Structure 1
Amino acid sequence: MAGDKKAKAKMEQAKGKAKETVGRAVGNERMTTEGRAEQSKGDARQAKEKAKDAFRH
């Protein structure tokens, strides 16, 4: 279960980075902002999972 959530966090980060890059390339500020938001969401999810792992061990 935890591995699944970690993978989801990595996927959100990668998807956000791609969206941000495409947004910058085409000059779409909204897409760039959405990409940053997705990256932040992935970062937060990953931090939560790391904290849970730290307390488990």
Structure 2
Amino acid sequence: MGKLKGKAEQVKGKTKEEMGSMTDDKSMEMKGKAEKVKGRAEESAADAGARMRGIGEKKKR
């Protein structure tokens, strides 16, 4: 679920960034960039969690 949410956040951020760029709204552009970074971090955290769960499963065997 976290990975999907992270991707959605990245898309939302990219959209805001592009709209800010087209309308010359630096504030919106920066907010969009921040949302993209947040989305990437969320996606990375989900990936790390999945890897850790995989390691935990291997140790149980």
TM over 0.5, shorter chain: yes
Deviation by residue 1:6-36 (Cα, 9 ceiling, x = unmatched): 1111100000000000100010000000000
Instruction: Give the number of aligned pairs.
Output: 54
TM, length-normalised to structure 1: 0.89
One-letter amino acid matched to 2:36: Q
One-letter amino acid matched to 2:44: A
Name the Cα RMSD after superposition: 0.7
2:11 aligned to which of 14, 19, 32: 14
| 1:51 maps to 2:20 | no
Q: Which has the larger radius of gyration?
A: 2
Stretches of structure 2 that go unaligned for 5 or more consecutive residues are 55-61
CA distance in 2: counterparts of 1:16 and 1:23, whole angstroms: 10
Stretches of structure 1 that go unaligned for 5 or more consecutive residues are none
Q: Which stretches of structure 1, 4 residues or longer, exceed 3 Å deviation after superposition?
A: none
TM, length-normalised to structure 2: 0.84
